């Protein structure tokens, strides 16, 4: 072999700033990496595929009868209530996986490789977000199909797309939080443990699964400010009708604020991790 193969293909005179096109190309290469993972290890899609089926069926058939009655109807009434709510639940459950996966990358040396390449360091995180958003869309689609099969009746189809978009927006902001945890925490198990600790009270202390009117006052105060309540109520209003403007705005503002605060922290922590 001649030395010819070792001459640098790089443009060393290039400006040190990274163009948007390069950013997109780098992110694309890393997205491809994560998609290849799925091909290599299809079980990693289990949560996105099975969770929406299992949870939708469980909630509808276990709680549907009694909560539906309380809502002044039956199981059908609860389906109309809980299916949009589950969309909000998905946004969080899927987001948690981004943190554990990211943390695992640090356990082997591949992150050192990425961090010594002349790429915008944000690309590594953007790629994770893109892949998780794809998983979130798959999970949401499956959930909607199961929901429709068990009787969910969408009265406003354009609203479905708005609700999915809002879920993706909010999900992204949660992913940034989990990316911060993924960088900062010592092990993937710790990220998961921490995730559940935050996830459970937020999900159950919201209007996702049951109306909040019968909850004690202190809990209602919490659920009213819980962004998951706003997201669930928005999704409901958008798909089956009802007032939505306020909840949509609250959800958008929460998402924007969380993203604007957490994304720079995540990128900074990633860049400066020792």
Interface with another protein, residue 30, by CB under 8 A: yes
Interface with another protein, residue 213, by CB under 8 A: no
Distance CA 119, CA 40 (A): 26
Interface with another protein, residue 35, by CB under 8 A: no
Of 24, 50, 58, 110, the one binding another protein (CB under 8 A) is 110
Distance CA 27, CA 31 (A): 6
Interface with another protein, residue 108, by CB under 8 A: yes
242 torsion bin: left (phi>0), alpha (psi -120 to 50), beta (else): left
Give the DSSP H/E element, type plus range, for residue 197.
helix 188-204
Contact assessment for residue 139 and residue 48, using Cβ atoms and an 8 Å cutoff: yes
Q: Give the residue from 46, 184, 205, 41 showing the smallest Cα distance to 103.
A: 184
Of 17-25, 140-148, 166-174, 223-231, which part binds another protein (CB under 8 A)?
17-25
Distance CA 257, CA 211 (A): 26
Number of residues that bind another protein (CB under 8 A): 42
- For 174, the token pair is 């949660």
Interface with another protein, residue 6, by CB under 8 A: yes
Beta carbon of residue 149, minimum distance to another protein (angstroms, whole number): 34
Contact assessment for residue 48 and residue 137, using Cβ atoms and an 8 Å cutoff: no
Beta carbon of residue 137, minimum distance to another protein (angstroms, whole number): 22
Of 43, 46, 109, 218, the one binding another protein (CB under 8 A) is 109
Alpha-carbon distances of 242 from 88, 164, 189, 206, 252, rounded to whole Å: 17, 17, 41, 18, 18
Nearer to another protein, 214 or 274 (CB): 274
Distance CA 131, CA 245 (A): 30
| Cβ neighbours around 257 below 10 Å, total | 12
Q: Which of residues 41-60 bind another protein (CB under 8 A)?
A: 41
Interface with another protein, residue 24, by CB under 8 A: no
Contact assessment for residue 230 and residue 243, using Cβ atoms and an 8 Å cutoff: no
Interface with another protein, residue 63, by CB under 8 A: no
Nearer to another protein, 30 or 199 (CB): 30
Of 43, 46, 72, 116, the one binding another protein (CB under 8 A) is 116
Interface with another protein, residue 20, by CB under 8 A: no
Interface with another protein, residue 12, by CB under 8 A: yes
Nearer to another protein, 14 or 200 (CB): 14
Give the ranges where 150-187 is alpha helix by DSSP (H): 157-184
By CB under 8 A, name the binding residues for another protein. Answer: 1-14, 16, 18, 22, 25-26, 28-30, 32-33, 36-37, 40-41, 108-119, 272, 274
């Amino acid at each position: 072999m001649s030395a010819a193969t070792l001459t640098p293909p790089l443009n060393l005179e290039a400006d040190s700033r990274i163009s948007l096109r390069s950013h997109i190309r780098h992110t694309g290469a890393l997205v491809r990496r994560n998609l290849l993972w799925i091909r290599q290890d299809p079980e990693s899609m289990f949560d996105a595929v099975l969770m929406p089926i299992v949870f939708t069926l469980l909630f509808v058939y276990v709680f549907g009868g009694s909560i539906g009655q309380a809502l002044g109807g039956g199981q059908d009434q609860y389906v109309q209530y809980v299916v949009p709510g589950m969309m909000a639940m998905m946004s969080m459950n899927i987001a948690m996986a981004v943190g554990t996966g990211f943390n695992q990358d640090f356990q082997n040396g591949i992150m050192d490789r990425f961090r010594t390449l002349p790429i915008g360091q944000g690309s590594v995180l953007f790629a994770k977000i893109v892949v998780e958003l794809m998983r979130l869309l798959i999970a949401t689609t499956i959930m909607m199909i199961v929901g429709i099969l068990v009787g969910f009746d969408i009265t406003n189809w354009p609203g479905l797309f708005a609700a999915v978009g809002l879920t993706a927006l909010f999900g992204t902001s949660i992913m940034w939080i989990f990316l911060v945890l993924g960088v900062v925490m010592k092990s993937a198990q710790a990220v998961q443990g921490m995730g559940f600790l935050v996830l459970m009270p937020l999900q159950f202390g919201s209007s996702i699964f049951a109306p909040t009117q019968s909850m004690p006052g202190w809990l209602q105060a919490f659920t009213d400010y819980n962004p998951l309540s706003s997201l669930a109520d928005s999704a409901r209003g958008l798909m089956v009708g009802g007032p939505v403007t306020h909840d949509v705005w609250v959800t958008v503002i929460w998402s924007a604020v969380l993203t604007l605060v957490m994304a720079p922290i995540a990128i900074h922590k990633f860049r400066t991790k020792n």
